[in-house]
Amino acid sequence: MEERIVDLQSGNHHFKMKLQLPGFVEDIIAERKGWEPHLVRELSSRMEDGGIFLDVGANIGYHSLYIAAANPAATCISFEPHPRIYHQFEENIALNGLPNIHAYCQAVGQTAGTLPFYMQDDSCYNRALSSSICYEVLQNGTSMIEVPVVPLDEALTDEQKKKVKVLKVDTQGVEYEVFAGAQRLLEIARPIVTFEHHPYASHNLADTLELLPDYRVYRIYSWFGGTKPFDEADPEMYVDELDLLCIPNELSV
């Protein structure tokens, strides 16, 4: 496996990432000099000085690193349960000397405790598919470990909750549990929320969206740009993987 350090841009700022190649996420970042550019720019634009960005399912940390570099007066609180991917994320934080990222090797869910986590090893091309759900697309080289899990409502103090501006969730199918364990946070902070919905998720999309009352829901095209209102009545929209942007009714798009 090759290690490569790449220079990346975050608005008017720059940051570096140590990549382990080959790998699905790493290869794309190395080739395109970014990941989900439209989404990360949208999320970064919603941050403000003193605000908190919550990154649930941080992977190797691209979104957290981008937002921390672009918003040095904001704080990123990031969670990644895969031990080796988390270690790579830690190395990337240290590489950039970013004191405004606080990373935790934990899963996020509805209740505190532990849960089984199906972890793909380094021989798998897309290690980001690791999940607490053992779904069919998991590749060979998967092992099960127990990981600690914490609800966001317990992980953050009420003072921290008030400062949350953006919540990003990418947990390979357990987004419902993350939101169920963050109801007080969502009530207090009313943050911008973005998440990826998968057809193999633990709950259907309609049930998940019920945990985000008084939010307008948009489909966001993370790579090519653009958003459009999400039509819940369209059954086709429930089949594919979707990147969704949820905005409180009281905020503008």
Model confidence pLDDT, tens digit, residues 10-33: 989 999 999 999 988 999 999 999
Q: Each residue of 52-94: pLDDT tens digit? A: 999 999 999 999 999 999 999 999 999 999 999 999 999 999 9
Specify the higher pLDDT residue, 90 or 252: 90
Q: At what angle do helices 83-96 and 62-70 cross, to 10 degrees?
A: 20
Asked if residue 195 is part of any domain, the answer here is yes
Q: Return the SS3 of 93.
A: helix
Non-local (6+) Cβ contacts of 42 within 8 A are 220, 227, 245
Non-local (6+) Cβ contacts of 33 within 8 A are 6, 8, 9
Asked if residue 224 is part of any domain, the answer here is no
Give the pLDDT of residue 241: 67
Asked if residue 116 is part of any domain, the answer here is yes
Asked if residue 108 is part of any domain, the answer here is yes
Non-local (6+) Cβ contacts of 236 within 8 A are none
Asked if residue 140 is part of any domain, the answer here is yes
* Residue keyed to tokens 């419902």: 176
Our count of domains for the chain comes to 1
CA 195 to CA 208: how far, in whole Å?
A: 10
Q: Each residue of 111-163: pLDDT tens digit? A: 999 999 887 766 565 555 555 555 444 555 578 899 999 999 999 999 999 99
Asked if residue 234 is part of any domain, the answer here is no
Give the pLDDT of residue 99: 98
* Full domain range(s) for residue 36: 2-214
Give the pLDDT of residue 18: 97
Asked if residue 113 is part of any domain, the answer here is yes
Rg (CA), the chain: 17
**pTM for this one?**
0.92
Asked if residue 236 is part of any domain, the answer here is no
